[in-house]
Structure 1
Amino acid sequence: MHADPFALRALLGASAAPSRRAISGESGVTLPPLIDHHVHLHLIDERALPGGGIAGVVDLGGDPVGLARRPVDGMPRVSYAGAFLTAPGGYPSGRPWAPDEIVRIATDPSDHPGVPGGAATAVGEQASFGASVIKVALNAAAGPVFDPAMLDAIVSAARGHGLPVVAHVEGERMTRLALDAGVDALAHTPFTEALDDDLIGRAAAAGQTWISTLGIHQGDRAATANALANLEAFVAAGGTVLYGTDLGNGDRRVGVLVDELRALDRAGVRGEALVRALCDPWPAAAAAGVSTFVPGPPPAALDDVAEWLGRATVVPSEELIHDDH
């Protein structure tokens, strides 16, 4: 018996469709391609991502030259920031997992391309290698960070290339610094401080997007509590949330992470909203020619959606027959 398409869409949204695979006849549900909006490809075995349900990723800190040389139509489909832009001595400089190729030091707010250490130079390099977003490091817990003038210059340079800016915020007042500069997205739900309602309301009203990465805090009770409370308030204020795991940070499954989905669910990103957080193509176009297929019966209730999504795999769209009648 096929799933009721009306009940399915009421639970998961208009993009969900009962379907079956043409070759095997296996029944299930089709969704748009699932995307992990925060990974580091140089730290994971990306070949496992499609089998684990992930069709696209956003690399938020890698070698821009290597990323630019990737096959455009490979799997997973990759959008990327290129290198981290950071202050002298700032995060992630010197970390064992962060080779020099993935870090650029910016020291001058100059808007003239070619100025050594200039904001326009650093941003322009990433744009020239095909970046879809610019990544800045604002980690006051681990070293120096950009002052407001320097951060403003980077955001302005990115705007000149039509690119959004995403920030790693960590440490006191870093979320406020990013918001005041007009940073478009946060690479992590803020976790080092409990944000006040005014700041969270400002972020939501400004259209800032937060990438979840709640699962990286396992074992750190304070960070977990802060992140969940901040995300719950941001969702309640109407903020936009994207699924992201920071894959490469710790030894975890390469694919859809059910624990991340459960945490999002607890923060109020449920059902259709959870599917949107996974399928939003930000910051680039959606993967073409592939779909998500979740075999077997669909979820019966909201509480079942996170676990159910953990069964997802990536298949060619032409292989699926939709059973919408």
Structure 2
Amino acid sequence: MPHAEESARHLAALDLGPLAAPVRRSMNGAHPGDTGTMLPPLVDHHVHLMIVDAHALADTALAGVVDLGAPLDLLTERRSHDGLPRVEFAGTFLTAPGGYPIGRPWAAAGCAREVPAATGDGRGSLPDPAETAVSEQQAFGASVIKVALNAAAGPVFDRATLDAVVAAAHERGLPVVAHVEGDGMTRLAIEAGVDALAHTPFTERVDDDLVALAAGAGQRWISTLFVTSYGEPAPERDLALDNLRRFRAAGGRVLYGTDLGNGDQPLGVNPAEISLLTEAGLGASDVLAAICDPWPLVERDDAVATFVPGAPPTTLDGLPDWLASARLVPAEELEAL
């Protein structure tokens, strides 16, 4: 009977998709012989290290984080340190003069770069303000460019200036991620060819045609569902869930991100974010694809792996806590079963 019960549990396990593999930890390493599941490195695609220091994440299961807005001197400091998690940076928020996040109490000095409106004055070979701002971020090591489009908190780029920023970034091989908030901001970002949204839109319902346009263009949406209401029922949470559900159904690519530093959240994997992703219609394999995507990098770091001990969950309800129990280990420590 024990063998029959074990088989039944195995057959009832969730389909985790191609990213998951059953493994045993090496007898030569820590916790010798433990069995579980190997996943690629986990990434939180939206954090703010000017609020939560990367060293606080060193003992978590996160192998990578994407900092979406920080002073350039923080990039310089972080680039001089080795260790995990690996950090990719957007550099400073690029924003319209007087725009978000300028004046926010959490916004560290130097985390926003005001970019004047494009003039089209035909200055010839001189770089325009958008090119200068993008080049500055790249020179400090940014691998993605962040633009702020928050009509609820001040001025935003007009279409010509946003186009100039996107063009300058793409010419340098850098994707552009946008914070969109307020009426019409999602449309502005999508129609300008922004590559990713820093948050699932939470202040407006994105109509089906625009959702299809975003998905068809290969845009990625970073989830950040938990911070819309910190787990409480709220119209913003419902809007975000509906928008993400339809975006995913249209074939859109979802990235796991928490906006870590924004409010009270656990360090490492946030099971509440995972739970909301499943509520938005993502299956187990979709969630793993969202949290294991190396974006904005193309290749994963194959020297490290994620080990989740014990049997995989049998229901989606068990997925958040299972993932939250993950550990970061050297890939060589895991043996395929």
Q: Where does residue 75 of structure 1 map in the other structure? A: 84
Q: Deviations over 1:51-105 (max 9, x none)?
A: 3321100000012232134246421001110000000110001212212321101
Relative to structure 1, the CA distance from residue 308 to residue 223 in structure 2 (aligned partners, 3 Å threshold; closer, same or farther) is same
How far is the alpha carbon of 1:228 from its aligned partner? Answer: 0.5
Q: Distance in 2 between matches of 1:237 and 1:201?
A: 6
Relative to structure 1, the CA distance from residue 290 to residue 114 in structure 2 (aligned partners, 3 Å threshold; closer, same or farther) is farther
Matches within 5 A, 1:88-237: 88-109=97-118, 118-218=129-229, 219=232, 221-237=234-250
Q: Deviations over 1:216-246 (max 9, x none)?
A: 0224611001000100111111111000000
- Indicate yes or no: 2:45 matched with 1:37: yes
- Higher mean C-alpha displacement, 19-28 vs 270-279: 19-28
- Indicate yes or no: 2:267 matched with 1:267: no
**Counterpart contact for 1:12–1:272, Cα < 8 Å:** yes
Specify the SS of the correspondent of 2:296.
coil
Of the candidates 293, 299, 316, which is equivalent to residue 313 of structure 2?
299
Q: Distance in 2 between matches of 1:96 and 1:289?
A: 39
- Higher mean C-alpha displacement, 32-41 vs 105-114: 105-114
**Counterpart contact for 1:165–1:183, Cα < 8 Å:** yes
Specify the SS of the correspondent of 1:43.
coil
**TM-score, scaled relative to structure 1:** 0.92
* CA RMSD of superposed structures (Å): 2.3
Q: Distance in 2 between matches of 1:253 and 1:128?
A: 32
**Counterpart contact for 2:14–2:315, Cα < 8 Å:** no
- Higher mean C-alpha displacement, 298-307 vs 21-30: 298-307
Q: Where does residue 67 of structure 2 map in the other structure? A: 59
Among the aligned pairs, what percent are the same residue? 55
**Counterpart contact for 1:91–1:139, Cα < 8 Å:** yes
How far is the alpha carbon of 1:270 from its aligned partner? Answer: 1.4
Q: Distance in 2 between matches of 1:286 and 1:72?
A: 20
**Counterpart contact for 2:19–2:289, Cα < 8 Å:** no
Q: Distance in 2 between matches of 1:178 and 1:210?
A: 12
How far is the alpha carbon of 1:15 from its aligned partner? Answer: 2.1
- Indicate yes or no: 2:335 matched with 1:321: yes
- Higher mean C-alpha displacement, 246-255 vs 297-306: 297-306
Structure with max Cα Rg: 2
- Uncovered stretches (5+) of structure 2, i.e. residues with no partner: none
Q: Distance in 1 between matches of 2:186 and 2:105?
A: 26
Relative to structure 1, the CA distance from residue 127 to residue 8 in structure 2 (aligned partners, 3 Å threshold; closer, same or farther) is farther
Q: Deviations over 1:183-241 (max 9, x none)?
A: 01000000001111111111111111100000002246110010001001111111110
Relative to structure 1, the CA distance from residue 320 to residue 138 in structure 2 (aligned partners, 3 Å threshold; closer, same or farther) is same
Specify the SS of the correspondent of 2:62.
coil
- Uncovered stretches (5+) of structure 1, i.e. residues with no partner: none
Specify the SS of the correspondent of 2:22.
strand
Relative to structure 1, the CA distance from residue 187 to residue 33 in structure 2 (aligned partners, 3 Å threshold; closer, same or farther) is same
Q: Deviations over 1:168-189 (max 9, x none)?
A: 0000000000011100100000
Specify the SS of the correspondent of 1:11.
coil
- Higher mean C-alpha displacement, 181-190 vs 211-220: 211-220
Relative to structure 1, the CA distance from residue 113 to residue 241 in structure 2 (aligned partners, 3 Å threshold; closer, same or farther) is farther
Relative to structure 1, the CA distance from residue 213 to residue 313 in structure 2 (aligned partners, 3 Å threshold; closer, same or farther) is same
Q: Deviations over 1:262-310 (max 9, x none)?
A: 0000111111111000000000142342111111122123442222111
Relative to structure 1, the CA distance from residue 72 to residue 13 in structure 2 (aligned partners, 3 Å threshold; closer, same or farther) is farther
**Counterpart contact for 1:164–1:183, Cα < 8 Å:** yes
